[in-house]
Chain A
Amino acid sequence: MANDVTQPLLEVKDLHTRFHTHRGIVQAVNGISFGIREGELVGLVGETGCGKSVTARSVLGLVRPPGRIAEGRITYDGIDLRSLSRREFRKLRGTGISFVPQNPWGALNPILRIERQFRNVIRAHTDASRQECWDMSLAMLQKVGIQGPERILKGYAHQLSGGMAQRVVMAIALVLNPRLVIADEPTTGLDVTIQRQILDMVMQLLEEERRAMLLVTHDLGVVAQYCHRVIVMYAGKIVEEGPVSEVFVEPAHPYTQALLAAIPRPGHKLVSLRGRVPSLIDYPAGCPFHDRCDFAFEPCSAEEPLLCELSTGRRSACHLSKGVSELDAR
């Protein structure tokens, strides 16, 4: 995996994204920082409303009113993304960062042939000829495991099944070899066998070509099996981060522990979390997880635990793990 010396390809620093609703200001993303290095496949996991999708959209410059990035710096390859104009951002999408949304139908134009949609994307960034566009599209579709790509290219979106449509969207996102792909729940609506086929293909492709990915998902299995690193979010904050092989095997944060314990396994009693996610409007004092946590002690409700490094590349925002690491340090 990428070593520590290299500068991250994408770096997010102290990002705050807020939504101004009639009920108050929703702190959807509440001061998160993380980085993604070249060739790194990173899973961003959490439950509904934890801010994982908003994080992805913030990076992509796709936050729309009433949402707003209030604070923070997002740099991609040394470029400050927040300072880009809409036009400059569009230029960057496709070649630099590309996006795969959850719903492929929303991403495909129903009245244009698939071929044309590829061409539009390719020609927005290069001056490839019609034939070159065709060849590039064909090659890309084959890479994501589509048999008979000519027929797909000549057809329209409505002729595709859900799995096919998602492959096509991924192929369009990947056709210009972007260095970073951001995918928001790309296989969530799909059947498990189709999900498996697509992930096997695409993740292998990304890995081979050393492209980076931020994979937003609620499916811990997908992250455990395909990603290098995982970021766990809760109530708009990162609570834990680290290599998949460590976080999923020995979770440090009680929330990550609870999430993993909530996966049904025969012979194990299900451990369910009590209580609810805190309101993102009246953000609680202290640790956002403290009133659901079995290990909470006095400082948890008073002081917010900071994300601190447990070992190289491994961070957790918990007073307990901080205590442990401080003890270790002594």
Chain B
Amino acid sequence: MTLVRLDNVYKSFQRAGGPVVNAVNGVSFEISPGETVALIGESGSGKSTIARLALRLYELDAGTVYFDGRDLTTLSRDELRHLRADMTIVFQEPYESLNPRQRIGRTVEEPLVIHEQKLTAAERHGRVVDALNHVALGENFYERYPHEISGGQQQRVGIARALVTRPKFIVLDEPTSSLDLSVRAQILQLLADLQDEFNLAYLFISHDIHTVEYVSDRICVMYLGQIVEVGPTAEVFANPQHPYTQALLSSSLSADPRVKKERFLLGGEIPSATNLPPGCFLHGRCPSGDDACAAAHVPLHAYTATHAVACIKVPWHADAEPAS
């Protein structure tokens, strides 16, 4: 059973008079209830765009997004709005994502005011306090303003706001990237605890390899708006197949000086998403790229039963047909 499914999603942007930026180029994946799927990639990989497409905060150019069996792209504005009690998002910037003129209690209460209008004020207050307690903030934060609390606490408020309507699915768009190491650990622990308690599905967007390895069940590695490798996190980390995944994993630096850094082979810079190279998007930078790579687009194909790779050098799984 899947809760969220993206099917061949495309999205491009165009600033007035500027070139077209192809942010997301045919992405498909799914998330089951209680599962954490991570999207990892560098800037320009389209991961934050996907975060918003998965909730239809942006309109899709092509493709479909299903949530809980419903096709989000066909819903009216109001139908979609009502669904937002069940699916929501926590942003990277904890301070910027809170209304600076709104007290913490009000901020956390707002989804209830929108979605559960039958509640009395007292019931709402109870739910808000409950949500604040769940993120270890307590009732005394109710009257405070965002600028009066620390970054970690601001992020907890963002999580409480997402949590208060008891959703099934939360997109976490780099929720810990702007936090210090010790605070990051607190938030990651909190997210894990909440997932266990409420059987939440997470789409965890990050560029941090350590964090992704720690939190996710499955991982999608993104490069230039495409998924180049997807599979169970442990499997992908143990046995990365796509040259980009290999490069990304080897670029991570261990804080243990006894673990020597791996040789790093990827040259050049990420090509511009306004002018995508033909064939495999990586072929210009790839150490094993050749003419065949430049010739044709490479679809994601099964490498094992659960692990798929978009590289023609990687053998196909015995039972799998070439993916369409």
Q: Which residues of A contact B (CB under 8 A)?
A: 47-48, 161-164, 191-197, 200, 218-225, 244-245, 248-249, 258-266, 270-273, 276
User: Looking at the complex, which of B57-65, B67-75, B100-108, B261-269 is the stretch in contact with chain A?
Assistant: B261-269
Q: Known contacts A191-B270, A224-B257: does B185 contact A196 (CB below 8 Å)?
A: no
Contact call B248/A266, Cβ cutoff below 8 A = no
User: Looking at the complex, which of B205-213, B286-294, B295-303 is the stretch in contact with chain A?
Assistant: B205-213
Chain A residues contacting B252 (CB-CB under 8 Å) are 192, 221
Contact call B215/A264, Cβ cutoff below 8 A = yes
Which 7 residue pairs of A and B lie closest in terms of their CB atoms, listed nearest first?
A221-B253, A264-B214, A262-B185, A191-B42, A272-B185, A47-B180, A196-B251
Contact call A262/B255, Cβ cutoff below 8 A = no
Q: Known contacts A224-B254, A249-B258: does B185 contact A270 (CB below 8 Å)?
A: yes
Chain A residues contacting B256 (CB-CB under 8 Å) are 224, 248-249
Contact of A263 among B151, B255, B261 (CB under 8 A): B255
Measured in the bound complex, the distance between the Cα atoms of B181 and A261 in whole Å is 10
21 contacts between A and B (CB under 8 A): A47-B181, A47-B183, A48-B180, A161-B269, A194-B269, A197-B264, A197-B267, A220-B181, A224-B255, A259-B181, A260-B255, A262-B184, A263-B210, A264-B211, A264-B215, A265-B213, A266-B214, A266-B234, A271-B185, A272-B183, A273-B186
Contact call A193/B214, Cβ cutoff below 8 A = no
Measured in the bound complex, the distance between the Cα atoms of B232 and A84 in whole Å is 59
Extra contacts besides A220-B255, A221-B254 (5): CB < 8 Å: A192-B248, A197-B264, A220-B181, A263-B210, A264-B188
Chain B residues contacting A245 (CB-CB under 8 Å) are 257-258
The tally of residues in B whose CB lies under 8 Å from a CB in A reads 40
Q: Is B43 located at the chain interface by the 8 A CB criterion?
A: yes
The closest CB in chain B to the CB of A197 belongs to: B264
Chain B residues contacting A47 (CB-CB under 8 Å) are 180-183
Contact call B253/A193, Cβ cutoff below 8 A = no
The closest CB in chain B to the CB of A260 belongs to: B255
Chain B residues contacting A262 (CB-CB under 8 Å) are 181-182, 184-185
Contact of B213 among A164, A266, A270 (CB under 8 A): A266
Q: Is B83 located at the chain interface by the 8 A CB criterion?
A: no
Contact call A219/B182, Cβ cutoff below 8 A = no
Chain A residues contacting B133 (CB-CB under 8 Å) are none
Q: Is B3 located at the chain interface by the 8 A CB criterion?
A: no
Q: Known contacts A248-B256, A249-B257, A270-B185: does B251 contact A193 (CB below 8 Å)?
A: yes
Contact call B182/A258, Cβ cutoff below 8 A = yes
Q: Known contacts A191-B270, A192-B207, A264-B188: does B180 contact A218 (CB below 8 Å)?
A: yes
